[in-house]
């Protein structure tokens, strides 16, 4: 298999594609395992290994995000990069692997990008302020079953940043909307809905682009966050 991979020494470097050929690959290999094998070959040849991120490799943490043949994460829907296996690539003999592309995600090195812009959204409003002390009884604040299930669906976001990379405008409305919708449905977090919407909206306006309304974000989301999360951004900002 021929691999075209992005190499960039640092944020100030222009970067370029580098081509390698691997003789031993199998359909069962994951994308991260492919990069591991590629790095072994590069190191054996005396070269610098490719910098990329991964942690759990179980589709939970979202650290592994890369762009494969122009698609964030790869061809398998609702699947993060670490769970993309070569069998899903349709028997191709060449892959192009590059970082998640967005103005909000500057490249640190090779396939590693700085996603602290998403952290800024969480710091602005993706949390709940509560009085410390004895934990309340489990049934002190009853939550309807449907509301709890919907909140959990929105809370499934793993913060990988694929939605931002997929959007032609570099919007983060799916990510931000998932946080706003999730917290608005629960009794204690709902107390701060107005403050939260204002703070998160300010970071969206300052750091990210406007929503394209085409829904590319939901198509690549490995957690299956529904497109309705985008609507939560405008709804929560208007009701504050």
Higher-confidence position of 72 and 88: 72
Do residues 93 and 143 share a domain?
Answer: no
C-beta separation of 125 from 200 below 8 A: yes
- Token pair, residue 106, equals 């500057």
Both 201 and 162 in one domain: the answer is yes
Statement to judge: residues 16 and 32 lie in one domain: yes
Picking from 84, 109, 134, the residue at the C-terminal end of a domain is: 109
The total number of structural domains in the chain stands at 2
Question: What does the pLDDT look like over 26-60, one tens digit per residue?
Answer: 999 999 999 999 999 999 999 999 999 999 999 99
Condensed to tens digits (0 to 9), the pLDDT of residues 211-229 reads 988 899 999 999 999 999 9
Same domain, 128 and 230: yes
**Over pLDDT 90: what percentage of the chain?**
85
In this prediction the pTM is 0.92
Together in a domain, 26 and 137: no
Q: Residue 138: what pLDDT?
A: 67
Domain end call among 81, 109, 137:
109
Per the CB < 8 A criterion, the answer to whether 181 and 200 are in contact is no
The DSSP string of 13-76 is: S--EEEEEE-S---TT-BHHHHHHHHHHHHHHTT-PPPP---SSSSSSS-TT--EETTEES-SS
Residue 27 neighbours by CB under 8 Å, 6+ apart: 85, 86, 87
Average pLDDT, the chain: 93
Last residue of a domain, one of 64, 94, 109: 109
Supply the CATH number for residue 183's domain: 1.10.1060.10
pLDDT of residue 212: 87
| Distance separating alpha carbons of residues 176 and 164, to the nearest angstrom | 11
pLDDT band of 239, cuts 50, 70, 90: confident
pLDDT (mean) for 149-175: 96
Integer Cα distance of 107 and 109 in angstroms? 6
Domain span at residue 16? 2-109
- Percentage of the chain lying above the pLDDT 70 cut: 98
Same domain, 40 and 119: no
**Same domain (yes/no): 96, 16:** yes
Q: Which pLDDT score is estimated for 32?
A: 96
Strands 2-7 and 94-98: parallel
| CATH code for the domain of 103 | 3.10.20.30
Which residue carries 């994951």 as its tokens?
A: 30
């Amino acid at each position: 298999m021929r691999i075209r991979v992005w190499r960039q020494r640092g944020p100030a470097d222009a970067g370029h594609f580098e081509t390698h050929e691997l003789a031993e690959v199998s359909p069962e290999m994951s994308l991260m395992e492919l990069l591991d094998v590629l790095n072994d070959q590069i190191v054996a040849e005396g070269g610098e290994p490719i910098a990329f991120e991964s942690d759990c490799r179980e589709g939970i943490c979202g650290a592994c995000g890369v762009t494969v043949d122009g698609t964030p994460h790869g061809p398998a829907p609702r699947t993060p990069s670490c769970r993309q296996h070569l069998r899903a690539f349709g028997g191709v003999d060449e892959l192009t692997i590059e970082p998640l592309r967005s103005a909000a995600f500057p490249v640190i090195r090779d396939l590693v990008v700085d996603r602290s812009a998403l952290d800024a959204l969480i710091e602005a409003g993706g949390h709940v302020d509560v009085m410390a002390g004895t934990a309340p009884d489990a049934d002190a604040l009853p939550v309807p079953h449907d509301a709890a299930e919907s909140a959990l669906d929105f809370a499934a976001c793993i913060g990988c940043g694929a939605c931002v990379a997929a959007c032609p405008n570099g919007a983060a409305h799916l990510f931000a909307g998932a946080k706003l919708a999730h917290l608005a449905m629960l009794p204690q977090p709902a107390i701060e809905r107005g403050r939260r919407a204002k703070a998160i909206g300010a970071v969206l306006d300052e750091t990210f682009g406007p929503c394209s309304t085409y829904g590319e974000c939901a198509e690549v989301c490995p957690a299956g966050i529904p497109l309705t999360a985008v609507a939560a951004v405008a709804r929560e900002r208007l009701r504050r």
